Structure 1
Amino acid sequence: MTISLIRTVILYAIVMAAVRLMGKRQISEMQTSELVVTLLISNLASVPMQETGQPLINGLIPIVALVISEIVVSALMVKLPMFRKLICGRPIIVIYDGKIQQDEMRRLRMTTEDLFEQLREKDVFSIKDVAYAIVETNGKMSVIKTPEKEQPTAGALNVVEPDKGLETVVISDGVISDYSLALCRQTRNWVENILENEGIILSDVFLMTANAKGDYLIVRRDQTK
């Protein structure tokens, strides 16, 4: 039992490191090659966990080989556009100038139900509101609405909005984040002064956000009864 637990922890750390090495797209926007590698790694890692009689190195070598292969393939896709097109394909326009491209939908084996489901995920509920819809290489759909259905921007209304900078979480569950403070160009002294003026101690803060203009929001921790 102890050996199985140790092997599981080691493999967990190795797989986590492998995912980090292959990049954040592994988590949310996987391309074809990344999906294949992720599935293979998960299968390879499960074998040494279950078969304690098999040397652990036998499971680690294929995982390392797959990670190296994925890194090489990713580098080649950056350097060679044709190679990227071969591996990932190309974006496909399924609605062009308001017209459904039925041939392209057949190529994707996309049904009308699939099309409308993805449009609804983009908060589009009528096909007449769509100017262009593009299926990206990761399978997600990008939608450009017709001009009359687009929300007006501040620029279109000739309204100049002040740039307040990035809003970040500077305190999370009573802990100050120096990294977040640097992003919003604030300091610990600034935070401590705010808390002192508000009459709040650090341990009572559940959440505090701030931006470069000095705007902030404080959410107190719920008091347990």
Structure 2
Amino acid sequence: MPVWLEVAIRSISIIIGLFIITRILGKKPLSKLSFFEYIIGITVGDIAGTLSMDLGISLEEGITSILIWSLFPVLTSRISLRNKKFRNFVEGNSTIFIKNGKILEENLKREKYTVDELLEQLRKKDVFRVADVEFAVLEPNGDLNILLKREKQPLTVGDVFPNPPSEKEPQTVIMDGMILDEPLATMGLSRGWLKQQLDKQGVAIENVFLAQVDSYGQLTLDLYDDKIQISEPQEKKLLLAAIKKVQADFELFALQTESKEAKELYQTNAEKMQTLLQKVEPFLRN
């Protein structure tokens, strides 16, 4: 067998094997690997590269070495899932760096972390004063997570509006010009509804690169030709206008009727619609 052909067969076999191993190891991103897992990955790659090029190394011996190095982290992760003490020993524990706005110097020394490095990590989180931090912890993978003090935390919708309506994730209903039926069914919609919405925009399905439907039923489009202008979704604005019209109609009916009971009924419903309008208007304006 020619040398180049043997190298090619070895390389292709090793690539397939490494792909299978990565699937077994899971989907943990590179930034979340522990230092030990990172070293194992480098070692496996070095063994695989050497094995594919050095024909003097037995393929069976090389594969055995790769399997041992690759399956060891799988074994440790399985044991870690079942045993907390073993997990702490292998992956380590989180370390508190800041508590109640005060830096814990001893913990910094134990993790060989300088104050400059701590301040740098805080700046990456858009925090420039240590006193603004209620709690900061260094995770086993090296990430620094912080909790700002209550008065320094950004305002959220829940702080302004109690019990805000839940919002579901948008569903992709068209991708690469093809209709996706499962996301449509998840939203309780049909192909007929989708084609009707596209007709309103004057767009053909084959011209749509991506289309998504949000929890309000609004369809947003991204076309292959970005020069084509399409109008913004109007569903929320139309709903807001309809609520305002109903509220105004109740007030008008209350003024026009001569019946005392009807007047009270219309006024009561007008007040209910006004209350509803105050709750939903901030969400429907955006």
Give the structure-2-normalised TM-score.
0.68
AA aligned to 1:14 is G
Q: Contact between 2:102 and 2:131, CA under 8 Å: does it hold in 1?
A: no
The separation in 1 between residues aligned to 2:19 and 2:213, in whole angstroms, is: 32
Deviations 1:3-48 (A, max 9, x none): 4344333322322221221111143411244223222221221112
CA separation of 1:167 and 1:62: change in aligned 2, threshold 3 A: farther
Give runs of aligned pairs for residues 72-87 of structure 1, distance below 5 A. 72-87=75-90
The separation in 1 between residues aligned to 2:154 and 2:194, in whole angstroms, is: 36
Q: Which has the higher helix share?
A: 2
Greater gyration radius: 2
List gaps (5 residues or longer) in structure 1. none
Residue 25 of structure 2 is matched in structure 1 by 22
AA aligned to 2:100 is D
The separation in 1 between residues aligned to 2:144 and 2:64, in whole angstroms, is: 37
SS across alignment from 1:218 = strand
CA separation of 1:197 and 1:91: change in aligned 2, threshold 3 A: same
Residue 98 of structure 1 is matched in structure 2 by 101
The separation in 2 between residues aligned to 1:41 and 1:182, in whole angstroms, is: 45
Residue 39 of structure 1 is matched in structure 2 by 42
Quick check: 1:135 aligned with 2:138? yes
Q: Contact between 1:26 and 1:34, CA under 8 Å: does it hold in 2?
A: no
Quick check: 1:202 aligned with 2:205? yes
TM-superposed CA distance for 1:112, in Å, is 1.7
- Larger mean Cα displacement after TM superposition, 189-198 or 161-170: 189-198
Deviations 1:188-224 (A, max 9, x none): 5554443344332333222222234422321111379
TM-superposed CA distance for 1:119, in Å, is 1.2
CA separation of 1:211 and 1:10: change in aligned 2, threshold 3 A: farther
The separation in 2 between residues aligned to 1:192 and 1:57, in whole angstroms, is: 58
Give runs of aligned pairs for residues 155-166 of structure 1, distance below 5 A. 155-166=158-169
List gaps (5 residues or longer) in structure 2. 228-286
SS across alignment from 1:164 = coil
Residue 284 of structure 2 is matched in structure 1 by none
AA aligned to 2:33 is M
AA aligned to 1:157 is V
Deviations 1:130-185 (A, max 9, x none): 11110001110111011111012222223443223112444344345566556656
- Larger mean Cα displacement after TM superposition, 206-215 or 106-115: 206-215
Q: Contact between 2:175 and 2:209, CA under 8 Å: does it hold in 1?
A: yes
The separation in 2 between residues aligned to 1:106 and 1:45, in whole angstroms, is: 39
How many residues align? The count is: 224
Q: Contact between 1:181 and 1:188, CA under 8 Å: does it hold in 2?
A: yes
Deviations 1:94-135 (A, max 9, x none): 111100111111111111221122112222222222111100
The separation in 1 between residues aligned to 2:35 and 2:182, in whole angstroms, is: 34
Q: Contact between 1:166 and 1:183, CA under 8 Å: does it hold in 2?
A: no
Give the counterpart of 2:68 among 65, 70, 74: 65
CA separation of 1:188 and 1:12: change in aligned 2, threshold 3 A: farther
The separation in 1 between residues aligned to 2:140 and 2:176, in whole angstroms, is: 39
Give the counterpart of 1:49 among 47, 52, 55: 52
Residue 251 of structure 2 is matched in structure 1 by none
Residue 113 of structure 1 is matched in structure 2 by 116
The separation in 2 between residues aligned to 1:183 and 1:22, in whole angstroms, is: 32
SS across alignment from 1:155 = helix
The separation in 1 between residues aligned to 2:144 and 2:188, in whole angstroms, is: 36
The separation in 1 between residues aligned to 2:202 and 2:175, in whole angstroms, is: 18
CA RMSD of aligned residues (A): 2.7
Residue 268 of structure 2 is matched in structure 1 by none
- Larger mean Cα displacement after TM superposition, 13-22 or 129-138: 13-22
AA aligned to 1:194 is Q
Q: Contact between 2:102 and 2:130, CA under 8 Å: does it hold in 1?
A: no
Q: Contact between 1:32 and 1:87, CA under 8 Å: does it hold in 2?
A: no
